[in-house]
């Protein structure tokens, strides 16, 4: 293994679906351990067994991976993502990757409130979040196709706040459950809004 070029070892690690397997490879091989810091993505799944087990290795493995990477551009936490609600846990790792992070994928069926700032939202392969009732996007790039996908992905959305959003041309919003809405779009005409509740605020900025 030590005779293989570092580029090949890095390619092998990058093809592993779960970064927990990367952690195992690092322990098993010094050659893998030497090249692993050059990986730019972390993809890890938290099973229900890990979450409910107080001695779960999930936090330790995840934080260790974060601390060892030189540059983290993509983070994906899948399956049972109960740790999304652990604010203290988020404070341990998010500041470390905030400057380089380009993609963040979180899977949580029971997510109720979501806030994103200075990001580009992608609806590609996004599983519906039926429990989500409040969504806030600030300084976010949001294309028409993604905005139109809100109906499918967030069927029970009640509070929508889009602040300083760009990237749209002819956006449409249709949510029958919407109760509060603040729209602050830039560059293009304001969106067509359809709902059965009062729109509390709708502003367009050129």
The SS3 call for residue 41 is strand
Same domain (yes/no): 65, 19:
yes
Strands 180-186 and 172-174 turn out to be unpaired
Q: Model's pTM, two decimal places?
A: 0.59
- The partner residues of 103 in beta bridges, in order of sequence, read 74
Last-in-domain residue among 59, 92, 108: 108
CA 116 to chain centre: 9
Same domain (yes/no): 81, 167:
no
What does the pLDDT read at residue 31?
93
Last-in-domain residue among 108, 127, 155: 108
Same domain (yes/no): 146, 177:
yes
Same domain (yes/no): 2, 99:
yes
Same domain (yes/no): 78, 160:
no
Are the CB atoms for 147 and 169 separated by under 8 Å?
no
Same domain (yes/no): 54, 119:
no
Same domain (yes/no): 55, 94:
yes
Q: Give the DSSP letter string of 139-191.
A: S-B--HHHHHTHHHH-TT--EEEEEEEBS-SS-EEE-TT--EEEEEEESSPPP
What does the pLDDT read at residue 33?
93
Q: Give the DSSP letter string of 121-138.
A: ---TTPPP-TT--EEEEE
What does the pLDDT read at residue 168?
67
Return d(Cα 155, Cα 128) in angstroms, integer. 8
Structural domain total, the chain = 2
Are the CB atoms for 77 and 106 separated by under 8 Å?
yes
What does the pLDDT read at residue 30?
92
Same domain (yes/no): 179, 116:
yes
Tally of CA atoms within 13 A in the half-sphere of 184 that contains its CB: 10
Return d(Cα 36, Cα 71) in angstroms, integer. 11
Same domain (yes/no): 118, 99:
no
Last-in-domain residue among 59, 82, 108: 108
What does the pLDDT read at residue 202?
43
Same domain (yes/no): 174, 124:
yes
What does the pLDDT read at residue 45?
73
pLDDT averaged per 10 residues, the chain (length 206): 85 90 90 93 71 64 88 79 64 86 74 77 71 86 74 85 77 78 66 46 40
What does the pLDDT read at residue 150?
76
Same domain (yes/no): 8, 101:
yes
Long-range CB contacts (within 8 A, 24+) of 24-27 = 26/68
Same domain (yes/no): 57, 83:
yes
* Domain enclosing residue 29, as ranges: 1-108
């Amino acid at each position: 293994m030590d005779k293989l070029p570092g580029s090949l070892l890095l390619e092998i690690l990058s093809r592993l679906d779960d970064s927990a397997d990367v952690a195992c490879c690092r322990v098993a091989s010094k050659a893998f351990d030497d090249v692993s810091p050059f990986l730019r993505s972390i993809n890890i799944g938290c099973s229900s067994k890990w979450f409910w087990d107080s001695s779960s290795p999930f936090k330790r493995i995840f934080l260790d991976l974060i601390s060892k990477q030189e540059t983290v551009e993509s983070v994906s936490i899948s399956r049972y993502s109960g740790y999304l609600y652990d604010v203290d846990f988020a404070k341990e790792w998010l500041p470390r990757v905030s400057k380089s992070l380009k993609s963040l994928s979180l899977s949580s069926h029971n997510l109720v409130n979501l806030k994103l700032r200075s990001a580009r939202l992608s609806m590609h392969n996004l599983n519906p979040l039926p429990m989500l009732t409040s969504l806030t996007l600030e300084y976010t790039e949001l294309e028409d196709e993604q905005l139109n996908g809100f109906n499918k992905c967030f069927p029970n959305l009640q509070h929508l706040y889009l602040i300083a959003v760009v990237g749209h041309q002819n956006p449409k919003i249709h949510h029958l459950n919407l109760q509060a809405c603040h729209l602050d779009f830039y560059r293009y005409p304001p969106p067509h809004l359809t709902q059965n509740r009062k729109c509390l605020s709708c502003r367009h900025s050129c």
